[in-house]
Chains A and B, each alone.
Chain A
């Protein structure tokens, strides 16, 4: 529906008055402030269209239920036993899968006219992207909490309590934020959001399934195990299980942080290079 327009008479005086603002021109926005403002923009979009949260709620619920009841008995003897292994892994799987939407959302967004305006502003240039990725962290947190709470409803009891869960989500957010930069490169390079999804999935499915998220790697052939053992998703899942259940091996967190750093160092400058040069 189009907003109806009244007969409008614009007075030259009022426009001239608007040109001489009542407030002094402020000093340039800081990098942090500009990034947070773009994060606020993303939050506003969710406020106006809450359906955008469908992928961080319905999808994780469906997958958690499917895996628990279809495979739980076969993989771990009982669903109750499987939950202890599955829920931390499922939190990792869900959030890493959702990071892929970052690329397609960016692809949709960046072709809009408003990006011309953003590019013509005197701001710290990466702020547009950093802000979007920060807002995505909110979506990731929602997804992680949905899975954890569903797990608790199904009978999962995290041994380290709420603090363990929070710590696990924090490590996961660091990795997800870093991984998002890789998708943003694809998001900028591809022509359509559909293309972005296809390419992202090609990378994401082997990465998430060839890990220890769903099953113990001991039954896999040795060459698959070799991949699983260096897969950052495996380290991330070990970290999440350790932090949520107890029995943490700290080196796993070290590996996750190292991977995160590597992803940002490689993909953030690459993203910015494309952002600055493409159009």
Chain B
């Protein structure tokens, strides 16, 4: 472990076992201060369990971690005084109104009554919730709940903020608002550990990304580094006729000497290409084989493609998990 002064989080071999399930199976993390660190993975990958261990909600089965220089087991109380958590299922009190939620937390942090109220009003104003301050939170929209949730996390300016899937279930506009808030928090000096199952979100916000699957880190790096692991350039070909896919796959893999990656969209072919001339050849070969192409592009790999290349399955395949699927039992039990 390096000096804790440089890192907001240092974790070594974190493991959490629920019954038979190894929800987290040996995770190492090093998050520099003042950065956004993204933990990316599908449902059930162990993201929430990891965040709950780091936020001292549950104890690791094995391994250790220091958060802001404090051991998460031995010095849990010290960790709690400098971190905030915005949980996956909105850590706000539905049965109170927005202002009461914030005053409650202010009081719990030790503010006298008047100061707690003043702080609540500041936050309501900053997060555009002044008009809804006296309404019960259960009547809030998803975006408003999230904003109140994040406001609740900064009643005391935290050195480190845990955001567990902050935009899951939000409409695009609310999602953009949350992103703006996160960027503002980071520019204010707060370190953020963010979990997400949206590749675009990690791409947009995170300085560094750990991709986790089945409780293990399977790739680590900046968004650009992860994309480079897959190949700098990727060819996208959209077929006019899906029935021609097998022929098109054969043409492309013969030409590029590369496997055509499986994709969720049957009309889309994705393959690594090492340069523009290869791409040009590809177009020509497809045309010669009588394959109609409706769209063609050469560009950087998206994180979706990175995930697919690393795990062999697309990241969004488990966006809507089957509640009866036992592979998600650990995450659910954990979240309950």
Q: A residues near B, CB below 8 A?
A: 1-3, 5-6, 8-10, 12, 14-23, 25-29, 33-34, 37, 40-41, 44-45, 48-49, 111-114, 116-123, 277, 279
| B324 contact set on A, CB distance < 8 A | none
The A interface is mostly helix, strand or loop, or mixed, namely loop
Closest A residue to B125 using CB positions: A14
A2 B107 Cβ-Cβ under 8 A: no
* B174 CB to nearest A CB, Å: 9
Evaluate whether A33 and B110 lie within 8 angstroms (CB atoms) in the complex, with A1-B139, A3-B135, A120-B83 already known. yes
Which of B25-33, B93-101, B253-261, B301-309 lies at the interface with chain A? B93-101
Told that A17-B122, A25-B109, A112-B93 touch, could you supply 13 new A-B pairs with CB distance under 8 A?
A2-B141, A10-B177, A12-B180, A12-B183, A15-B180, A15-B181, A19-B154, A28-B81, A29-B110, A48-B97, A112-B94, A116-B87, A117-B85
Can you spell out 27 A-B residue pairs with CB atoms less than 8 angstroms apart? A2-B141, A3-B139, A6-B128, A8-B177, A10-B177, A10-B180, A12-B184, A16-B184, A17-B122, A18-B126, A18-B151, A19-B185, A20-B157, A23-B111, A23-B115, A23-B119, A26-B112, A27-B110, A41-B100, A44-B95, A45-B95, A48-B96, A113-B90, A114-B93, A116-B52, A116-B85, A122-B77
Which listed residue, A6, A12, A41, touches B93 by the CB 8 Å rule? A41
Which listed residue, A21, A27, A45, A119, touches B57 by the CB 8 Å rule? A119
* A15 CB to nearest B CB, Å: 4
| B85 contact set on A, CB distance < 8 A | 116-117, 120
| A19 contact set on B, CB distance < 8 A | 154, 157, 184-185, 188, 190
Evaluate whether A3 and B140 lie within 8 angstroms (CB atoms) in the complex, with A21-B119, A113-B89 already known. yes
Which listed residue, B100, B127, B135, touches A15 by the CB 8 Å rule? B127
The count of residues in chain B whose C-beta lies closer than 8 Å to any C-beta of chain A is 68
| A5 contact set on B, CB distance < 8 A | 141, 143-144
